[in-house]
Amino acid sequence: MSVPGERLDWRAIGTASQPVAWGAAALGVLLGAWLLATTVTGIVPRNVLPSPVELIARFATLVVEPFSGSTLEGHALASLTRWVIGVGAAIGLGVPIGIVLAWLPPCRAAFTPIFEVLRYIPPFAWVPIAVLWLGASTTTQALIVFIAAFPVCVINTQLGVAHVDRILLFAAQSLGSGPLRMLARVVLPVAAPFVFTGVRIAFSNGWMALVGAELVVGKQGLGFLISQGQANDSVATILVGMVTIGVIGSIIDVVLQRMQRRLLPWQPASAHSGTGRR
């Protein structure tokens, strides 16, 4: 992750020194350009891109009136449920497996080749077989989320555990600690930032895969809402769905980042942003 201001001192440029102000300004410019292109000048026709005002109106309608079976909240809730189940299972299985793989080299040697092949099958490629096995159910969707989220949980946990300095284990041993205490009090805390980064990426990977899967299978969810918008020639519906997807995803990420800072107070500040790999 890049850090703006590393090479350039933003404060030297203008009065707005807060990142929030810059973000708000950019959003304002985007909205202004959008208004200008649609409502004000009418250069872009309505059926291509509705104006922000129309979008808000469509949003309000979708919140109260069911569209393709559910309100916007209903669709969002369906997606969230599958998301949480899938990512939860990925964390619950992936983190322990990652620990075992890092801790026991023979297991790692045995498991890695299979894992590497499975990892390169895109989550969507599992959709047909998942439908045949499980039908067009919540379980199918959750399975796709799981497949998208699981590898990063395993890999980041494994990296985190492998990252633990051996000398810490020596120190614990020389104070009489057994392996279980070492795992709980030394290895896991030191690996935690990596694991946490893995969890954040798992949430984001799972979300992407879920929306994709909902486009092709199912009768509910934000992806389904978008595909129904297409079927009904409603660009506004599609855009409302897309923005909702983006906002929910980023809110969850912010919440997870806050949690990380709260749960791991012992880390130097710089370690919070970019540990692990994507």
Partner 1 sequence: MPAPSNAKMNVSGVSKTFRTRRGDVAALARCDLAIGKGEFVTVVGPSGCGKSTLMMIAAGLEPPTTGDILVDGRPAGPPGPQRSVVFQRFALFPSETVTQNIEFGLRVAGLDRAERASRVDEQLELMGLVQFRHAYPHELSGGMQQRVAIARALVVRPEILLMDEPFGALDAQTRTVLQEEVSRLRRVMNYTVMFITHSVEEAVYLGDRVVVMTSRPGRIKKEIAIPRDAAWRGLEIAEASNYADFIAYKRDIWNLVRAELVRA
| Site membership for partner 1, residue 264 (CB under 8 A) | yes
| Site membership for partner 1, residue 257 (CB under 8 A) | no
Task: Output DSSP code: residue 185.
Answer: I
Task: Output DSSP code: residue 209.
Answer: H
Nearer to partner 1, 4 or 265 (CB): 265
Residue count, binding to partner 1 (CB under 8 A):
22
Question: What CA–CA distance (Å, rounded) separates 14 from 20?
Answer: 14
Nearer to partner 1, 116 or 165 (CB): 165
Closest CA to 253 of 236, 278, 270: 278
Structure tokens at 239: 């855009």
| Site membership for partner 1, residue 170 (CB under 8 A) | yes
Question: What CA–CA distance (Å, rounded) separates 163 from 254?
Answer: 26
**Residue of 190, 242, 248, 256 that binds partner 1 (CB under 8 A):** 190
How near is the Cβ of 269 to partner 1 at its closest, in Å?
A: 10
| Site membership for partner 1, residue 43 (CB under 8 A) | no
**Residue of 149, 186, 199, 211 that binds partner 1 (CB under 8 A):** 186
How near is the Cβ of 156 to partner 1 at its closest, in Å?
A: 17
Burial level of 194, CB count in 10 A (0-12/13-18/19+)?
A: buried
53 CA to centre of own chain:
29
| Site membership for partner 1, residue 172 (CB under 8 A) | yes
User: Helices 72-103 & 188-216, crossing angle to 10 degrees?
Assistant: 140
Contact positions vs partner 1 (CB under 8 A)? 165, 167-168, 170-177, 181, 185-186, 189-190, 192, 264-268
